[in-house]
Every structure is written in structure tokens, then in C-alpha cells.
């Protein structure tokens, strides 16, 4: 099993165990691939739910640039909903899991066709 496949299995477990979500493995794989090499870097692979600059990066680089959403209060609400679902006290919020949850939340699965 490749390192990426191992990470996808870990992300799927996080979705099930911490978020109560049964992931669409095809979508999770595509979201993980879309994260690029960041998934292999310990710092870049996670999202800090308490860092305003980190959440702004998620909003600008993922929601607006990747998913093509318009900036507005709905994006911040969506990010907060996802962070709450993942668990604010959970230290390791994996970027691929957060992006997966945001993709589903905003119903933008077709961005990964």
C-alpha cells in the first residue's frame, strides 16, 4: 500500500470515528490527491481550527479558488460548521478531511469529477 493510500485510510477512519460520516471513498481519494504534497508534511497536513490566518487560507485557496464559491458570510459559517463537526478540541484536523467535509457541505462534489 502506498503512503497516500495509507493516509486515505487514516482520513476515512477520522471521518467515521470523529465526524460520524461514512465517506465516499472515491471523493475522499480525489480530495486527498487535490491536496498535493501537503499531505506528507506534518504541519501542512493539518488545519488549525483556532488560527484566523489558517482559516482565511482555507477559505481563499480552497473554497474560493478551488471550489469557485463567492466570498461571503456563508463561507465562514460553513468552515465553522465543519470545524465543529470535526471537534474543536481535536488537535489533528487533517486538511484532506476538512476539505472533504467542506466539499460535501457546499455540495461541490462535482468539482472533483
pLDDT in tens, 19-47: 999 999 999 999 999 999 999 999 999 99
Number of domains in the chain: 1
Q: What is the mean pLDDT of residues 41-68?
A: 95
Please report how many Cα atoms fall inside a 13 Å half-sphere around the Cα of residue 41, on the Cβ side.
7
Length of the chain: 113
Give the domain CATH number at 65: 1.10.238.120
CB atoms within 10 A of CB 63: 24
Q: Which residue has the cell 460548521?
A: 81
- pLDDT band for position 95 (50/70/90)? very high
- CA separation (Å) from 47 to 1, 26, 52, 99? 25, 22, 11, 10
Domain of 60 in residue numbering reads as: 3-111
| Residue closest to 100 by CA, chosen among 91, 92, 88, 112 | 112
Amino acid at each position: 500500500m502506498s503512503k497516500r493510500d495509507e493516509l486515505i485510510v487514516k482520513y476515512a477512519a477520522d471521518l467515521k470515528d470523529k465526524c460520524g460520516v461514512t465517506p465516499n471513498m472515491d471523493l475522499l481519494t480525489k480530495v486527498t490527491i487535490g491536496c498535493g504534497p501537503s499531505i506528507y508534511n506534518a504541519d501542512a497536513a493539518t488545519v488549525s481550527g483556532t488560527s484566523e490566518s489558517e482559516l482565511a487560507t482555507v477559505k481563499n485557496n480552497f473554497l474560493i479558488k478551488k471550489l469557485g464559491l463567492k466570498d461571503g458570510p456563508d463561507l465562514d459559517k460553513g468552515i465553522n460548521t465543519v470545524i465543529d463537526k470535526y471537534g474543536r478540541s481535536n488537535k489533528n484536523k487533517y486538511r484532506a478531511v476538512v476539505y472533504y467535509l467542506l466539499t460535501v457541505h457546499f455540495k461541490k462534489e462535482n468539482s472533483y469529477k
